[in-house]
Structure 1
Amino acid sequence: MSPFPAKYGYRRSVRAQGVLTIWLSYQPPFHWPSLLGFLTARCIGGIETVANGVYTRTAVLGGRHVLVQVRAGRGHHLILTVRGLPPAALPGLVAKVRRVFALNAQPVEVEAQLGRDPLMARLIAARPGLRVPQGWDGFEQAMRTVLGQQISVAGAMTLAGRLVARYGQALSLPLHVPDTGLTHVFPQPTAIVEQDLSGLGMPRSRAATLSTVARAVLDEPQLLQPGADLDQCLRRLCQLRGIGPWSAQYLALRQLGAADALPLGDVALVKALRLLEGQDAQLADRSQAWSPWRAYAAQHLWASLS
């Protein structure tokens, strides 16, 4: 095993039969069951799965297909296992996984401020260290967001599975794992931008939005980069046909890493708040007390429904 300086947030083992294992550190607490439950409900058939406490997905890194697995480890670590990774792509993969699993979060700071609100204090006590998981990449998260407009999570994942099966590239044979059902990588924007996606079982307007967003990502590769200017990004997203405030705020929360983003029109958030505080509770009013951590408040409200 080769230790890395603490600033990198990981250490790794030597390769064994093409498998690389990396230990990723984080600041406790970390409510792993909630994060894993979130991912379980949103697995897209063909590219990702959760089984026996392990999240597994396919990806393209360094121009090659790779298989990524993440599970809880001892101490304050997650264990990342990857197959097929080009050595030069390791730093990028580590940075991506740390972002997806929110390993750079400072939960003590967040919860100290957010917990001043009595409702949030109750929710934090139930799930200390709850993280706001991020999208794997901008294009995939944008497609997930559009597919999830006005339908259930399960319905959106069904549509996403069809999208993958029809337009995703087949997983390269050395990585094919029959028992997991992992068969593809997520489609690239070029694979769907000119396609009529309404045949997948969605309204033509939503299919058109998928193509519009794919074109926007191709034309503006930095559009959904984490850390992008939030106000500018929100304005640009809302200029796209089919993208309204809910979708823009959800992408800000889930992809841009905006800690204070909040999709006010989210039906599940409204439902969760009213279950907790009564039918007269108003999300817009209550959320003022949760700034600048409204994305964490939203994650707690969503988690409360489970």
Structure 2
Amino acid sequence: MPASIALPCRPPYDWPAMRDFLAGRAIPGIEAVGPDRYARTIAVAGRTGSIAITPGGDGLVAIVTGVAEAELPGIAARLRRLFDCDADPATIGAHLATDPRLAPLVAARPGLRVPGAWDGFELGVRAILGQQVSVAAATRLAGRLVAELGTPLPALAEPGLTHVFPTAERVAAADVAQILTMPRARGAAIRALAAASLAEPDPFALDQDLATAVARLTAIRGIGPWTAQYIAMRALRAPDAFPPGDVGLLRALDGGAGRPSPAELLLRAEGWRPYRAYAALHLWAVDAARPAD
């Protein structure tokens, strides 16, 4: 039977922003997003199922199907990380609002959170697929990878959920570049990430500081600083992760006199520590709202 999990969050919680961020990156076959619902497939302890999240109560509510009751506490913990339920928006907002550029952004979106990830390896693959291509293109590539290497599921109640994300074992053994018709170097990077995720220690372990995590990730061939910081931000829940070379962040800070350089942005972001990841989300929201050129 389906199980219900309450996910309390400190108010305010900006559900529309979280939903839109996840919707724009939803992997076909794995995730489905509606106005008040995020659903995805999961594989836990050898069993497959699905979760569906809606806003409700004093935070969010999850309906979980297909997994053993003993796994529910672990699932709840993963969902809290995915939806950033443990953030303290008042403390984060007060700190970021000391910057005159960020103050109006915080006031406009006081409950903005940093979207996390259900699974570190899945997020890492998605980040590599997003190197030098648009979000939409990366999402299409991820969907093709899922269709080719993912595990098909029996019919589920959630429309559009058809597969579980491919395991690291399957990805490590596959010719990813050929499957996705992409540069061989990028396919090799995905396979290298798969191999690293199977090794010890786990590169997606949560109990490591940001500098250590980034160093370990960038040691994997094909993962540069942007990808490592993005993985740290979402999969490792590092609140100070920050990719200063991200073009969206640089565009968001262009007040008409030109974009700052990555070095200039990094210097300015010193004042945003230890919440630079939240500053990045505010700036990405600004960039997303800009009219297309």
Same fold (TM over 0.5): yes
The yes-or-no answer on 1:194 pairing with 2:194 is no
Q: Which residue of 2 aligns with 1:261?
A: 241
Aligned ranges for residues 1-306 of structure 1 at < 5 Å? 18-74=1-57, 76-171=58-153, 173=154, 175-177=155-157, 180-199=159-178, 200-220=180-200, 222-274=202-254, 276=255, 278-281=257-260, 282-306=264-288
Distance 1:68 1:221 in 2: 28
Distance 2:257 2:60 in 1: 38
Q: Which residue of 1 aligns with 2:291?
A: none
Gaps of 5+ in 1: 1-17
What TM-score does the superposition give when structure 2 sets the normalisation length? Answer: 0.93
Q: Is the 8 A contact 2:250 2:259 kept in 1?
A: no
Number of equivalenced pairs: 284
Deviations 1:182-212 (A, max 9, x none): 1100000001102111121211110010001
Distance 1:111 1:149 in 2: 30
What TM-score does the superposition give when structure 1 sets the normalisation length? Answer: 0.89
Gaps of 5+ in 2: 289-293
Of all paired residues, the percent bearing the same amino acid is 45
Q: Is the 8 A contact 1:217 1:223 kept in 2?
A: yes
Distance 1:36 1:82 in 2: 18
Aligned partner of 1:300: which letter?
H
Distance 1:91 1:280 in 2: 45
Partner SS for 2:164? coil
Q: Which residue of 2 aligns with 1:4?
A: none
Q: Is the 8 A contact 1:227 1:257 kept in 2?
A: no
Distance 1:218 1:52 in 2: 36
CA RMSD between the two structures: 1.4
Q: Is the 8 A contact 1:62 1:88 kept in 2?
A: no
Partner SS for 1:180? coil
Q: Is the 8 A contact 2:253 2:259 kept in 1?
A: no
Q: CA deviation at 1:147?
A: 0.5
Aligned partner of 1:44: which letter?
I
Partner SS for 1:223? coil
Partner SS for 1:118? coil
Q: Is the 8 A contact 1:159 1:201 kept in 2?
A: no
Moved over 6 A (4+): none
